[in-house]
């Protein structure tokens, strides 16, 4: 079979293992997508109708790539068809094409199940889907109805609790019954969830979590529908199985229950989403649930050089909760890993930018270079370093000055300088929310406060008092100190840090970084320094917006966002204890091995070169801190590392 040529023995074994449950442990760069698509093509060549095949992955990008590869293989094989094979030529490349396998994300699969069978439980075929912003707004509205301040309970945090419960298969009625008479926080969450579900039902809408939880319940409770779905898809493929949560694993199990043909691909060493409910045990314990399962290990790395593969092996083998797997490569030794110790974040960014320019002159395109960081706040210094060096770049995710929490802070600062700015007032009054909307502000604009209810008047006066205090502070405070004052007075610290979710805490780190940026203007305290800082921030934001349309350049992103991607050259910045590994590494309730897996993911994005950088002094919240090198550096074999302008003894 010509399409098997070029596959190694383990890959061929996986492609040809068509019957029963199969678990493929695929190391980084081991060609798992090729295995998946070739196996799907092999099934069709063996006479399995394409529309009996299902493949599920986690991102739309991955699903599109997989569909494209299968389509290409079918087109190339169209002139050599066997019985049961279908020509896909000129067919639309969508997950709903019955002449192609159904290839989609988990949410795409859930939507298809509900559109096909949801009428049995009263779900309209044309339901709408709430995104996170819609969900959080609805939760905020429910809090208002309950007369609960968003300062006390963050809508984002409550939505996070609801989402986590849905991901565990908990229904609102179960949650309410269990929590309605417990702590105040649990009671509020239960009441808000009930209100939230009523709103969804009234608007014939579902949220992202419903797209998984409701199909699972539908299949469990309706035998006829379950049998229809099982007979529709007789061969089930699940990509990135280590990232599935309990309900997603349950959905895969239900669909494959009749024919037993469940093919899962994953790598426990790349399980980095435990904080959002992913269960790495789904891949590690696959044989316990399916004792008859075959297990195939893909260990040959086609992506990275020998030095990089050896270094990554040295890091990940320190973890105990993993399946034994040792990556190898037939590629050359390659360049050593370069470690650079900078003076501070700005010096680190400057060095990275100059090194990228040097590589560009040696023929490495900017598009094949990535700079990875552990937390979002690091991007600010890196962006500025690239701008100064004239290196084009694109930031995956929202740019620093375009992030919501940063825009909120800047609105508060501008309002303090000019309290009559309506746009800034509208933004500030809602950040964090304090029960003052456009209608109430409209009443204020009319000038007659006698029409206000006592509660409305109290909210307005409390907000105006904060603005007045901040306005007085602009006369004397240095810009960085003023940022800190705004954080406290506005209630942002409490909303993001004290009561927020994991994501909110990362947003607070971005707010802290704003104070660091503002410290550059501390030589000119008072209104002049603050207004200069705001003007410079506006210019940076405009420049970012212009750069948004630029499709070429170095890629900046968090390590979490980089999973599944690969680059010729990778820089991992901020290799400092407390930053990477992040603060909390080693604490009792924290999965410290996940942090090491995250570093393993960062290392294995590189094909040819890997640079690890750290700063001796890191400014956090406007203050300088002397750092310690990351403990991960000691996990790397010193024989594959060199120290660029760095005293090796400092790191070791």
Q: Read off the pLDDT of residues 290-340 as tens digits, 9 standing for 90 and up.
A: 999 999 999 999 999 999 999 999 999 999 999 989 999 999 999 999 999
The reported pLDDT for the residue numbered 544 is 37
Q: How confident is the model at residue 548 (pLDDT cuts 50, 70, 90)?
A: very low
The reported pLDDT for the residue numbered 645 is 65
- Go through the chain and tell me how many residues it has: 652
Each residue's pLDDT tens digit, 555-574: 999 999 899 899 999 999 99
Q: Is the pLDDT of residue 88 over 60?
A: no
What DSSP string describes 256-293? HTTT--EEEEE-GGG---GGGT--THHHHTHHHH-TT-
CA 480 to chain centre: 30
Q: Is the pLDDT of residue 140 over 60?
A: yes
Whether residue 53 contacts residue 235, with contact meaning beta carbons closer than 8 Å, is answered with: yes
The reported pLDDT for the residue numbered 126 is 67
- Lowest mean pLDDT, pick from 350-364, 407-421, 567-581, 603-617: 407-421
Tokens 């290990």 found at: 297
Q: Is the peptide bond before 581 cis (omega within 30 degrees of 0)?
A: yes
Write the CB contacts of 484 (distance below 8 Å, at least 6 apart in sequence): 515, 621, 622
Mean pLDDT of the 166-192 span: 86
Share of the chain above pLDDT 90, in %: 54
Number of Cβ within 10 Å of residue 133's Cβ equals: 9
Q: How confident is the model at residue 585 (pLDDT cuts 50, 70, 90)?
A: low
DSSP-H helix ranges across 438-522: 438-446, 454-473, 479-490, 492-493, 502-518
**Rounded Cα gap, residues 31 and 325, in angstroms:** 15
Going 174 to 180 to 183 to 184, the CA torsion angle's sign is positive
Q: Write the burial class of residue 312 (CB in 10 Å: 0-12 exposed, 13-18 middle, 19+ buried).
A: buried
The better pLDDT of the pair 447, 144 is held by 144
Number of Cβ within 10 Å of residue 57's Cβ equals: 26
Q: Which residues pair with 87 in a beta bridge?
A: none
The better pLDDT of the pair 531, 539 is held by 531
Whose CA is closest to 314, among 337, 342, 331? 337
Active site residues: 32-33, 239-240, 270, 605
Share of the chain above pLDDT 70, in %: 89
Q: Is the pLDDT of residue 549 over 60?
A: no
The better pLDDT of the pair 231, 76 is held by 231
Mean pLDDT of the 124-129 span: 72
The reported pLDDT for the residue numbered 567 is 96
**Rounded Cα gap, residues 596 and 599, in angstroms:** 5
Each residue's pLDDT tens digit, 614-641: 999 998 877 889 999 999 999 999 899 9
Each residue's pLDDT tens digit, 207-219: 889 999 999 999 9
Mean pLDDT of the 47-60 span: 92
DSSP-H helix ranges across 391-453: 404-417, 422-429, 438-446
Mean pLDDT of the 493-506 span: 78
Q: How far is CA 119 from CA 122, 124, 131, 218, in A?
A: 5, 6, 22, 10
Q: How confident is the model at residue 591 (pLDDT cuts 50, 70, 90)?
A: confident
**Rounded Cα gap, residues 614 and 573, in angstroms:** 6
Q: Is the pLDDT of residue 579 over 50?
A: yes
Mean pLDDT of the 39-51 span: 94
Strands 205-207 and 262-266: unpaired
The angle at the Cα of 497, spanning 493 to 498, to the nearest 5 degrees, equals 95
The reported pLDDT for the residue numbered 86 is 42
Q: Average pLDDT over the chain, rounded to whole? A: 86
Burial code (b: 16+ CB inside 10 Å, e: under 16) for 504-540 equals bebbbbbbbbbbbbbbebbeebebebbbebbeebeeb
Whether residue 261 contacts residue 40, with contact meaning beta carbons closer than 8 Å, is answered with: no
Q: What is the pTM of this model?
A: 0.79
The crossing angle, in degrees rounded to 10, of helices 502-518 and 527-548 is: 120
Going 223 to 225 to 227 to 233, the CA torsion angle's sign is negative
Q: Tell me, what DSSP letter sits at residue 495?
A: I
**Rounded Cα gap, residues 399 and 510, in angstroms:** 11
Q: Is the pLDDT of residue 421 over 90?
A: no
Q: Is the pLDDT of residue 5 over 50?
A: yes
**Rounded Cα gap, residues 307 and 301, in angstroms:** 12
Q: How confident is the model at residue 90 (pLDDT cuts 50, 70, 90)?
A: very low
Burial code (b: 16+ CB inside 10 Å, e: under 16) for 415-435 equals bbbeeeeeebbbbbbbbbbbb
């Amino acid at each position: 079979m010509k399409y098997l040529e070029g596959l190694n023995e383990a890959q061929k074994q996986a492609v040809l293992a068509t019957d029963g449950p199969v678990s493929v442990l695929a190391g980084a760069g081991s060609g798992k997508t090729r295995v998946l698509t070739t196996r799907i093509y092999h099934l069709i060549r063996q006479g399995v109708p394409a529309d009996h095949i299902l493949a599920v992955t986690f991102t739309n990008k991955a699903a599109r790539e997989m569909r494209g590869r299968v389509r290409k293989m079918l087109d190339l094989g169209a002139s050599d068809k066997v019985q049961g094979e279908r020509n896909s030529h000129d067919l639309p490349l969508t997950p709903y094409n019955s002449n192609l396998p159904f290839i989609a994300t988990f949410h795409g699969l859930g939507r298809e199940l509900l559109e096909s069978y949801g009428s049995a439980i009263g779900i309209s075929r044309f339901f709408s889907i709430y995104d996170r912003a819609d969900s959080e707004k609805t939760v905020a509205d429910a809090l208002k109805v309950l007369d609960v301040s968003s300062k006390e309970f963050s809508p984002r945090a409550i939505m996070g609790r609801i989402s986590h419960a849905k991901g565990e298969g908990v229904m609102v009625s179960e949650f309410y019954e269990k929590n309605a008479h417990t702590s105040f926080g649990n009671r509020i969450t239960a009441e808000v969830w009930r209100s939230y579900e009523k709103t969804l039902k009234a608007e014939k809408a579902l949220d992202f979590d419903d797209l998984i939880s409701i199909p699972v319940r539908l299949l469990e409770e309706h035998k006829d529908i379950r049998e229809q779905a099982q007979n529709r898809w007789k061969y089930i493929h699940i990509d990135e199985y280590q990232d599935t949560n309990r309900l997603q694993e349950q959905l895969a199990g239900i669909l494959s229950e009749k024919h037993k043909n469940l093919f899962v691909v994953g790598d426990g060493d790349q399980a980095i989403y435990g904080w959002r409910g992913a269960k790495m045990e789904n891949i590690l314990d696959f044989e316990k649930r399916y004792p008859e399962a075959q297990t195939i290990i893909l260990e040959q790395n086609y992506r990275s050089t020998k030095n990089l593969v050896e270094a990554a092996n040295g890091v990940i083998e320190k973890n105990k909760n993993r399946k034994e797997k040792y990556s190898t490569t037939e590629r050359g030794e390659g360049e050593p890993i370069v470690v650079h110790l900078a003076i501070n974040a700005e010096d680190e960014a400057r060095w990275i930018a100059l090194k990228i320019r040097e590589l560009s002159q040696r023929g490495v395109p900017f598009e094949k270079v990535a700079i990875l960081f552990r937390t979002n706040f690091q991007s600010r210094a890196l962006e500025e370093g690239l701008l100064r060096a004239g290196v084009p770049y694109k930031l995956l995710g929202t740019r620093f000055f375009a992030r919501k929490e940063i825009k909120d802070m800047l609105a508060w600062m501008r309002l303090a300088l000019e309290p009559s700015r309506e746009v800034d007032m509208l933004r500030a009054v809602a950040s964090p929310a304090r029960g003052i909307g456009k209608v109430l502000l409209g009443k204020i604009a009319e000038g007659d406060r006698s029409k206000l209810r006592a509660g409305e008047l109290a909210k307005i006066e409390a907000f105006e008092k904060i603005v007045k205090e901040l306005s007085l502070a602009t006369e004397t405070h240095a810009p960085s100190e003023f940022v800190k004052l705004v954080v406290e007075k506005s209630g942002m610290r409490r909303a993001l840090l004290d009561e927020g979710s994991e994501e909110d805490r990362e947003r607070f780190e971005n707010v802290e970084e704003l104070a660091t940026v503002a410290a550059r203007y501390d030589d000119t305290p008072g209104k002049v320094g603050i207004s200069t800082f705001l003007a410079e921030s506006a210019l940076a934001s405009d420049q970012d917006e212009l750069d948004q349309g630029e499709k070429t350049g170095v890629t900046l992103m968090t390590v979490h966002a980089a999973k599944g991607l690969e680059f010729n050259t990778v820089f991992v910045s901020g290799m400092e204890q407390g930053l990477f590994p992040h603060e909390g590494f080693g604490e009792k309730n924290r999965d410290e091995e996940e942090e090491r897996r995250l570093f393993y993911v960062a290392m294995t994005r590189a094909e040819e070169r890997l640079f690890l950088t750290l700063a001796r002094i890191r400014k956090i919240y406007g203050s300088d801190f002397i750092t310690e090198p990351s403990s991960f550096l000691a996990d790397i074999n010193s024989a594959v590392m060199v120290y660029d302008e760095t005293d090796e003894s400092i790191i070791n």
